[in-house]
Amino acid sequence: MPHAKVATRRRSATPIAAAPSSAPAAKQVKLAKPVKKTAKVDSAPPAPAPAPTAAASPWPPVSHRERQREAKRNAVLQAAAQLFNERGFHATSLDDIAARLNVTKPTLYYYVKNKDEILLQCVSKGLTMMLEGIDASRAAGGKAIDQLMTCMQVYARIVTMDFGMCLIRVGDEQLPPESRKELRRLKSAIDQEFRRLVAEGVAEGSLQPCDPKMTAFVIAGALSWIGRWYQPDGEYTPEQVAQQCIATLCDGVLRRPAQAPVSAADTGAAPASAPRRKTAVGKVKAPARLGGA
């Protein structure tokens, strides 16, 4: 049948299996070639991220705070010394000291423990100032008499100051015995320096023979008394007080035979006074007559 033939031909036209052939297939899947990656080189490294800005501290550096604390502590001690000198130790309260400084009483406890400690520190400061001044005079060198005169000027000047005056007017008798040990050591060191200077002055011939211990007591006792009667608003400056007291200690108050007045009928001239010479610090120096007439 013609129709059947046609169908057969159509079936035979479709191959069962493709014969191997070297010809390329109509469509081939192409594999992508591997891409070589090259490192990208930048011209400059990236800038680091900015660090966060620290908040400004309202507190000053530790060293500055320590200096402030020490300055405030010294202000407490100086105000206390002034009040002790004016009113006495027992008549001065911590409230008085706080009022002088325009602070509250609890504020004082940041710097001192109690009133006894304040007095201890005030007296200690006065003694330390004296000893440091004497040591500086000794370190400057020179003849013993010059060093002695300078030390006397230092001593007389300090007892007119707040801490030195507190040392003389109030003293350490109000303090318990255990608190006075260091003060006794400082007092002894000052006394020993005066004794050594007197002994050296005698040895070099600038002072008359005398007992260094007794002479040192006389010098320190006389100069210390300045702190009792000196008034800062008085007619004499501390320098004038020191100069006059030292001249009196060295010259005395008795007129010497060599300085006896001569009758005006004989010469018509006023009696000559003993010559004075300048010390190394420019103060008037009296003739050396310490320790004897």
For residue 80, being part of any structural domain is answered with no
Judge whether residue 210 has pLDDT over 90: yes
How many domains is the chain built from?
Answer: 1
Alpha carbon 44 to chain centroid, angstroms: 54
Comparing 9-23, 69-83, 103-117, 129-143, the range with the smallest average pLDDT is 9-23
Confidence of residue 27 (pLDDT cuts 50, 70, 90): low
For residue 107, being part of any structural domain is answered with no
Q: What is the CATH number of the domain that holds 209?
A: 1.10.357.10
For residue 28, being part of any structural domain is answered with no
Check residue 289 and give its pLDDT. 43
Q: What rounded mean pLDDT belongs to the chain?
A: 79
For residue 78, being part of any structural domain is answered with no
Give dist(CA 66, CA 278) in Å, integer.
Answer: 43
Alpha carbon 249 to chain centroid, angstroms: 35
For residue 198, being part of any structural domain is answered with yes
Domain, as residue range, for 232: 123-254+275-285
For residue 206, being part of any structural domain is answered with yes
pLDDT digits (tens, 9 = 90+) for 100-127: 999 999 999 999 999 999 999 999 999 9
pLDDT digits (tens, 9 = 90+) for 262-276: 554 554 544 444 444
Q: What are phi and psi of 61, to 5 degrees?
A: -60, 160
What does the block give as tokens for 35?
């891409």
What does the block give as tokens for 117?
């400690």
Comparing 58-62, 199-203, 218-222, the range with the smallest average pLDDT is 58-62
Using CA atoms in the order 189, 192, 194, 199, what is the torsion angle rounded to 10 degrees?
-160
For residue 156, being part of any structural domain is answered with yes
Percent of the chain with pLDDT over 90: 54
For residue 212, being part of any structural domain is answered with yes
* Contact of 293 with 257, CB cutoff 8 Å: no
Judge whether residue 14 has pLDDT over 70: no
> Residue 82 has what DSSP assignment?
H
Give dist(CA 176, CA 190) in Å, integer.
Answer: 22
What does the block give as tokens for 240?
């004038």
Percent of the chain with pLDDT over 70: 69
What does the block give as tokens for 105?
């009483």
pLDDT digits (tens, 9 = 90+) for 177-198: 888 988 999 999 999 999 999 9
The overall pTM is greater than 0.75: no
Give dist(CA 148, CA 153) in Å, integer.
Answer: 9
Averaged pLDDT for residues 41-62: 69
Owner of token pair 């010390």 = 279
DSSP bridge partners of 278 = 284
DSSP bridge partners of 28 = none
